[in-house]
Amino acid sequence: MVMQSTSAAASLTPLTLMDVPAPRVEGPLDVVVRIAAAGVCRTDLHLLTGQMVSQLPLILGHENAGWVHEIGSQVTSVAVGDSVLCYPFVAKGLSVPERSGLDTEAPDRQTPGITVDGGYAEYLRTNERSMVVVPAHADLASLATLTDAGLAAYRACKRAATLLRPGDTAVVIGIGGLGHLAVQILKALSPARVIAVDTKPEALDLAIACGAHEAVAPIDLKRVLNGGARAVLDLVGADTTSNLGISALEFGGTYLAIGIGGSVTLPLADLVEGEKHIEGVFVGTYTDLLEVTELAVSGLVSPRIVRYPLEAANDALDALANGRILGRAVLEP
């Protein structure tokens, strides 16, 4: 049974429940994973509404974790039965970017759930290069969220941590599936004072539970900044949040864009005279996934998840689209 997208219409088109045979290994380095959990991401909504376009039909699901079910003849680093996370890009590792660790830039990479069939199903075909082995006792539903949400949040926080000194302030805008992880990761990696920003009271409560020093509505950010932020992580990516984040920077501060959808508008005089830095963060590397997984397994980061059975994928997507998910929704076959 799989949940398959059949349309990219302008509205949220329900997924179709289908019975298809489990994939089998096709090449010597293939790995078939029996899915334990697949995260529900806003990217899935973009595919369903046509904001992103992919070849159809398509099985969604790019945040995946499970157990190794079958391996190709040359696979040596995982064995049948291993608990694994699936790095979200499938590539051969031969290009110059890949040899530098940037599978995000691999010219022939595939992305399960976006360019090829993903994990809204019982089984997923990927490859050995994308496997991250985790302890057998690990909660795979919780860890599945690290393979995109946690990965992007970690890459941004790791970059911010190189800038943050004792006494500095970091701002996290948007306490959702990525933002609640970013608060925890910043606390683990840096000595900074962390301020969380969101419009929803329940999200602000979650931020405090995740360790934020303060959690405020956007209108109150200026009041609590005390001079400006050394780093701002924008997990929303709207025009309003980019304006808010850049205006919150202190002299020499860095605005890190992780969410997308809006744009950045900044007079060059402000950029120059404030020596402000604007950077984008796109997912993360395999090494980033190893590192954020270690934080989670050690208990320093704890993803907040809402569990749904696979058959309720449409309910999970509807809840996400209408702002009813606190943390990250996860589908379990």
Residue 39, phi-psi category: left (phi > 0), alpha (psi -120 to 50), beta (remainder)? beta
Predicted local confidence at residue 31, as pLDDT = 98
Answer whether residue 1 shows pLDDT above 80. no
What residue spans define the domains of the chain?
2-147+284-332, 150-280
Full DSSP string of 115-157: TB--SSBSEEEEEGGGEEE--TTS-HHHHHGGGTHHHHHHHHH
DSSP assigned state of 311: G
**Per-residue pLDDT for 283 more than 50?**
yes
CA 267, distance to chain mean position in Å, is: 31
Under a CB-based contact definition with an 8 Å cutoff, are residues 146 and 85 in contact? yes
Q: What is the mean pLDDT of residues 205-226?
A: 97
Task: Over range 190-210, report the average pLDDT.
Answer: 98
Q: Which fold has domain 150-280?
A: Rossmann fold (3.40.50)
Each residue's pLDDT tens digit, 169-199? 999 999 999 999 999 999 999 999 999 999 9
- Residue 102: per-residue pLDDT: 85
Average pLDDT over residues 11-33: 87
Other Cβ atoms less than 10 A from the Cβ of 291: the count is 17
Q: Which of 242, 244, 249, 301 is nearest to 270 (CA)?
A: 249
Stated as kind and residue range, the H or E segment containing 244 is helix 239-247
User: Is pLDDT above 80 for 11?
Assistant: no
- Write phi, then psi, for 112 (nearest 5 degrees): -55, 135
One-letter amino acid for residue 68 of the chain: V
Reported pTM: 0.94
pLDDT tens for 120-139 read: 999 999 999 999 999 999 99
The answer, yes or no, to whether residue 319 has pLDDT greater than 80, is yes
pLDDT tens for 244-261 read 999 999 999 999 999 988
The residues, any chain, with a CB within 8 Å of residue 324's CB and separated by 6 or more, are: none
Distance, CA of 54 to chain centre: 19
Instruction: Give the pLDDT of residue 8.
Output: 44
Tell me what the mean pLDDT of segment 190-217 comes to: 98
- Write the pLDDT tens digit of every residue in 54-108: 888 999 999 999 999 999 999 999 999 999 999 999 988 888 988 888 888 888 8
The answer to whether residue 9 scores a pLDDT higher than 50 is no
Percent with pLDDT over 90 in the chain: 84
**% pLDDT > 70, the chain:** 98
pLDDT at 7 over 60: no
- Kindly report the CATH number that applies to the domain delimited by 2-147+284-332: 3.90.180.10
Distance (Å, whole) CA 70 – CA 34:
9
Q: Which of 5-14, 42-51, 124-133, 138-147 has the lowest mean pLDDT?
A: 5-14
The alpha carbons of the chain give a radius of gyration, in whole angstroms, of 20
The backbone torsions φ and ψ at residue 12, rounded to the nearest 5 degrees and listed phi first, read: -75, 105
Q: Exposed, middle or buried: residue 212 (CB in 10 Å: 0-12, 13-18, 19+)? A: buried
